[in-house]
Structure 1
Amino acid sequence: MSPDSPVPDRRQAAPVDVQVRTSAPDRSLVTVTGHVDLHTAHHLADALQPLLGHDGRTVLVDLSGVTFLDSTGLTCLITAYRTARSTGVRLALIAPSPQVQKMLLLTGVDQVLDSYPSLDAAPP
């Protein structure tokens, strides 16, 4: 590193990508890749919030591409679950990555949130 090179900012958020696809009028798939943490969880929350207010809707959250999930990301999922439960929306996780699965198991959230190994395994 030369003296003129900028010092990397370790506080800079790791990238996260959140894509929403509606596969039917009452079914949406939210695909998340990257780190879901203190700096990025709001992207997931912002994508989920408008989907959770319609009774009878199914929202599937594909977490297969999530490489890191901290307590803020976990709180985002729990908040989404609580909102979904109160509004009559069915929320389920699809293919949580090993990192996500470990966090769900350690916290017991795997006992609360429905999870399926693949999109094809989720009920219609």
Structure 2
Amino acid sequence: MGSNPGGRREPPDTLEVRVRSLDRVRVLATLTGAFDHHNAHRLTEALQRALDAGAAVVLLDLSGVTFLDSTGVTRLLLARRSARAAGGHLALIAPSRPVERLLSITGVDQVLPSYPTPQAVPAAGPEPDRDSGGTAG
């Protein structure tokens, strides 16, 4: 009974990305909603603006992410690569249960450092990448 076959409705643009500076070199990007192929570009755009503005440490608060697909995982890895290419670091903050689950299943939790709060991230930036020696986790 509805205009949607199967009764399933998935809004394509449900991701909100808010970025704020924590200090001179650290920014916190807070993602809220479904992080998927429909809207993953929003993280890339926000990250690029932060890096262009001189951010050396990008913290991604994923506590409000309700859904993550493979495109979202890929964008997180690309965000890490972009931060490193700019001489910076990237860390995840308080990933939600759905995010933690997918990162664990894919092994990405071994590559991207995660912390419970922005304050828990060392002042010098996140821990060195576990795969920086060429050994992927």
Q: Which TM-score band (shorter chain)?
A: 0.7 to 0.9
Q: Compute the displacement of 1:82 (Å).
A: 1.0
Q: Which residue of 1 aligns with 2:82?
A: 83
Unaligned ranges ≥5, structure 1:
none
Unaligned ranges ≥5, structure 2:
124-137
Q: Which residue of 1 aligns with 2:130?
A: none
Q: Which residue of 1 aligns with 2:105?
A: 106
Describe the superposition over 1:30-53 as per-residue Cα deviations: whole angstroms up to 9, x where unpaired: 000000001011111111122235
- Per the normalisation by structure 2, the TM-score is 0.79
CA distance in 1, matches of 2:11, 2:63: 23
More strand by share: 1
CA distance in 1, matches of 2:10, 2:31: 21
- Check 1:88–1:45 CA distance in 2 against 1; reply closer, same or farther (3 A cut): same
Give the letter for the 1:123 counterpart: P
Q: Compute the displacement of 1:56 (Å).
A: 6.8
Q: Which residue of 1 aligns with 2:131?
A: none
- Given that 2:94 and 2:117 are in contact with CA atoms closer than 8 Å, whether structure 1 keeps it comes out as yes
- Check 1:94–1:11 CA distance in 2 against 1; reply closer, same or farther (3 A cut): closer
Residue pairs, 1:41-56, within 5 angstroms: 41-53=40-52
Q: Give the alignment's Cα RMSD to 1 decimal.
A: 2.0
Residue pairs, 1:31-70, within 5 angstroms: 31-53=30-52, 57-70=56-69
- Given that 2:25 and 2:54 are in contact with CA atoms closer than 8 Å, whether structure 1 keeps it comes out as no
- Per the normalisation by structure 1, the TM-score is 0.86
Does residue 7 of the first structure (1) align with residue 13 of the second (2)? no
Q: Which residue of 2 aligns with 1:116?
A: 115
CA distance in 1, matches of 2:21, 2:54: 16
Give the letter for the 1:46 counterpart: E
Q: Which residue of 1 aligns with 2:28?
A: 29
